Amino acid sequence: QVQLQESGPGLVKPSGTLSLTCAVSGGSISGSNWWSWVRQPPGKGLEWIGEIYESGSTNYNPTLKSRVTISVDKAKNQFSVKLSSVTAADTAVYYCARNGDHYFDYWGQGTLVTVSS
């Protein structure tokens, strides 16, 4: 059973960079899957941020593309997201997920990141 666990600072200052890591267990990140980040502002809906393959190939949500970088560390079986120039609008629960066949089949429990001074 694949398990994902997000980690990172729960508080980021405005204009700073949000950085989170997703540790994958119960399976290898070097398989045939893509790996995604999804976020959910408090009381609002879900938003796909982007995805990465083991090779390092990435795809991003066009609305966030200029601020997002997703990377993979195969040796540590984990992948990460960085979001720059954050504002209060970036306050959200951030989930990492594994892509199945055009959907997200395994999810982390999510981690709340608050942007505030």
- Residues lying near another protein in the complex (CB under 8 A) are found at 36, 38, 45-48, 51, 59, 61-63, 95, 100-105, 107-110
What's the closest the beta carbon of residue 16 comes to another protein, in angstroms? 26
Of residues 16 and 64, the one with the C-beta less far from another protein = 64
What's the closest the beta carbon of residue 18 comes to another protein, in angstroms? 19
Of residues 19 and 64, the one with the C-beta less far from another protein = 64
| Coil, helix or strand at residue 80 | strand
Largest CA distance in the chain: 41
What's the closest the beta carbon of residue 37 comes to another protein, in angstroms? 11
**Rounded-to-integer distance, Cα 10 and Cα 66, Å:** 22
CA 91 from chain centre, in angstroms, equals 13
Nearest to 48, CA basis, from 107, 113, 2, 116: 107
